[in-house]
Amino acid sequence: MKLLHTSDWHLGRALYNRKRYDEYEAFLNWLADLIERENIDVLLVAGDVFDSSTPSNRAQELYYRFLCRVAASAKRHVVITAGNHDSPTFLNAPKELLKFLNVHVVGCASDSPEDELLVLSGADSDPQLLVCAIPYLRDRDIRMAEAGESVEDKERKIIEGIRLHYRSVCRAAEEKRALIKKDIPIVAMGHLFAAGGQTVEDDGVRELYIGSLAQVKRDIFPECIDYVALGHLHIAQRVGGSDFVRYSGSPLPIGFGEAQQEKSVVMVEFSNDAPAVVKIPIPRFQELRTLRGDWQSIARGIEELKSNGSKAWLEIIYEGDEIAGSVREHLNDAIAGTGLEILRVKNNRVLERALHGSDVGETLDDLDVTDVFQRCLDAHQIPEGQRTVLLNTYQEVLVSINEQDLIAE
């Protein structure tokens, strides 16, 4: 049996207000071609299918068109679990209909382990695979809040809650395998932050929980699991050095910080021996480039791209010695008549002066929500001794807001 593991599509996400539907469509067409060419039996999508809990009509169209195409084979299964960006109720809404296409959706955690356990059969209707389809576990799914808890207490409870949830679903999988009386593989899915996981700046990875993001260790996954398909981190990577516990990574670079990464999906083939795991590179459907330095360096970079006929989307980071008030005008002149497109201009000199209070030329593009809150603390001269508590409380509020399912009712 062949599996294909992917995650973090973030359908509908824009890059500095530039829509990316053409890229997403190209990726999904490539993925469908790969599934057919490699005769994939099971596609696993480990969360963050959409970038928003209220995806656009265009994003939904791409999603359902893809599912219809890959479900054309009667023996193929698709398993989709929700990530922290997804609306559980939105994903779950068509699940009964999608079952007839062998598309299995698990949008939210359940008190019953069997609700997250799938027995997948081959063309002969014989059970071939057990999938512990565990979605993103929200704080309220795994922890009972108590008054007066410290941040450390909350993190400990979250990690223990995740451990117990995996243990419960995997125990149900082992019991099911015993009833089947056939030694079929057990695969688990998850959307979480593994300890030691790699991230990069501008990758759009949203904090899951308070504190240190409740990073879990590899030993949280029971030994009975043959392969763990993870989502959330956008860099394709192994967890704890294991070939069988992996992040597939995002298929498209979510920000310029990911532009130079090789994006991939993971193919897993089960036989009588250990699973064979192969990374399959994803083509780049849109070139992203960052040019930084003084004006002469940036101008040389643009000329080189123009000479190569590039149609890259550009991030410009100006680091000249002088404040260049007309940088944008010079840039527009430099790319006129080409296929190049500038999505962001960041003037580091202006930013440095803003940080020292001598200029206010920075924009919200230069800050994330935590940066803005810290600036408020600075502006109100909050003492250092109070900042940790206030920052942790603020992060709790953010998590609570992000976990709201806005279209549940």
For 280-335, the pLDDT digits (tens) are 999 999 999 999 998 899 999 999 999 999 999 999 998 877 655 577 788 889 99
- What pLDDT is stored for residue 210 in this prediction? 44
| Predicted confidence (pLDDT) at residue 100 exceeds the cutoff of 80 | yes
pLDDT tens digits, residue range 51-83?
999 999 999 999 999 999 998 776 899 999 999
Percent of the chain with pLDDT over 70: 84
What average pLDDT does range 273-285 have in this prediction? 93
Spatial contact of 237 and 225, defined as CB atoms under 8 Å apart: no
pLDDT of 277 higher than 90:
yes
Q: What per-residue confidence (pLDDT) applies to 323?
A: 56
| DSSP secondary structure string for all residues of 115-133 | GGEEEEE-TTS-EEEEEEE
How many angstroms separate the CA atoms of 291 and 303, rounded? Answer: 11
pLDDT of residue 211: 44
Largest CA distance in the chain: 74
DSSP 75: T
Which pTM value belongs to this model? 0.84
- Minimal CA–CA distance to 403: which of 12, 84, 82, 49? 84
- Bridge pairing between strands 2-6 and 264-269: antiparallel
Give 193-241 as a DSSP string: -BTT----TT--PPP-SSTTTTPBPGGGS-TT-SEEEEES-SS-EEETT
Q: What is the pLDDT of residues 344-374, one digit of tens each?
A: 988 766 555 544 554 444 555 556 677 777 7
- For residue 140, name the pLDDT band (cuts at 50, 70, 90): confident
Using DSSP, state whether 4 is helix, strand or coil. Answer: strand
**pLDDT (0 to 100) of residue 391:** 72
pLDDT-derived band at 198 (thresholds 50, 70, 90) equals confident
Q: Decide if pLDDT at 178 tops 80.
A: yes
